[in-house]
Amino acid sequence: METAQETGNLTGIRQIILVLSGKGGVGKSTISTELALALRHSGKKVGILDVDLCGPSIPRMLKVQDKAVHQCDNGWVPVFVDQEQTISLMSVGFLLEKPDEAVVWRGPKKNALIKQFVSDVVWGDLDYLIVDTPPGTSDEHISAVEALRPYKPLGAILVTTPQECTNLFSKGGGEELARHAKVPFLGCVPLDPQLTKSLEEGQDFIQEFPKSPAFPAFISITQQILDGMLAQTS
Ligand SMILES: Nc1ncnc2c1ncn2[C@@H]1O[C@H](COP(=O)(O)OP(=O)(O)OP(=O)(O)O)[C@@H](O)[C@H]1O
Ligand SMILES: [Mg+2]
């Protein structure tokens, strides 16, 4: 049997999805979390790589903030969210001493950490690796894309809010933007207080709230991803 180091820790991943946005607080980590839960619901094995070094939020959303990563011969072992080990998570949040402490990494140190994050996590076989990123296009994105580029298919989801586009479009900004960029529009997630609450409490929204307004949106987005509708980065 080949070891992970010989084959590379990312070679067992079938599809990588970057989650991006221009502005902060638009729902990237929410989409990353719910997408992972919905993909698991469809029987897929999912990893989440949280490269938001300043505000890692996924550990809390999945209620694993108190867990720790540890090292093995081939790299970091991610935290498993469930007993069946169908969702694994690597976040800088696990490397911080105080759970809510933000790290201000700069330049080369940040790039090195991200590249290490990307290459040194022992993901094993995954159907999808979801990469949650900070807002904008900064060092984190460049480092992550550089490190992930050899591992195709590499797709991207751009998260936006209608408000972000009000200067351009009065409503349906995301849909208009997708048409403009000639990429598939995956869907619109309504504001849903039950979703906010379930994220705060680290509940499995997909399992617990099938009647909630945001539920069909996540299921439809997930189905399109399963159908291979994701825009590919070049
Ligand atoms: N559809 C929704 N309905 C209700 N609340 C939502 C929805 N989407 C996101 N939220 C809430 O909005 C807040 C911001 O979402 P989230 O953390 O996912 O954004 P983000 O883009 O990852 O932010 P950052 O840029 O800081 O990483 C969270 O408190 C989340 O619970
Ligand atoms: Mg976030």
Pairwise CA distance, residues 177 & 160, whole Å: 9
Residue 199 CB–ligand 1 contact under 6 Å:
yes
208 occurs within a structural domain: no
- What distance lies between CA 131 and its chain's CA centroid? 4
111 occurs within a structural domain: yes
Give me 103's structure tokens.
């790290």
Q: Hey, whose CA ends up nearest to atom 16 of ligand 1?
A: 27
220 occurs within a structural domain: no
Greatest Cα pair distance in the chain: 57
Residue 3, pLDDT score: 44
Domain CATH code at residue 151: 3.40.50.300
CB 233 within 8 A of CB 18: yes
Q: Whose CA is closest to 127, among 47, 224, 8, 31?
A: 47
Q: Hey, whose CA ends up nearest to atom 30 of ligand 1?
A: 196
* Residue 31, domain extent: 4-159
Q: Which position has the token pair 């790290």?
A: 103
Residue 5, pLDDT score: 44
Give me 176's structure tokens.
């208009």
Pairwise CA distance, residues 157 & 225, whole Å: 10
81 occurs within a structural domain: yes
Give me 232's structure tokens.
């590919």
Residue 117, pLDDT score: 78
pTM: 0.90
CB 9 within 8 A of CB 91: no
CB 50 within 8 A of CB 189: no
Residue 2, pLDDT score: 42
16 occurs within a structural domain: yes
* Ligand 2 centroid to residue 145 C-alpha, Å: 17
Residues of the chain with pLDDT under 70: 1-7, 96-107, 163-164, 166-172, 231-234
Residue 57 CB–ligand 1 contact under 6 Å:
yes
Handedness of CA 140, 46, 178, 166 (dihedral sign): negative
Number of domains in the chain: 1
Handedness of CA 129, 156, 32, 220 (dihedral sign): negative
123 occurs within a structural domain: yes
Q: How many CB atoms lie within 10 A of CB 136?
A: 12
110 occurs within a structural domain: yes
Q: Which of 34, 196, 209 to mutate to test the pocket of ligand 1 (most atoms within 8 A of CB)?
A: 196
Residue 214 CB–ligand 1 contact under 6 Å:
yes
164 occurs within a structural domain: no
Residue 198 CB–ligand 1 contact under 6 Å:
no
Residue 131, pLDDT score: 94
Give me 32's structure tokens.
């990353």
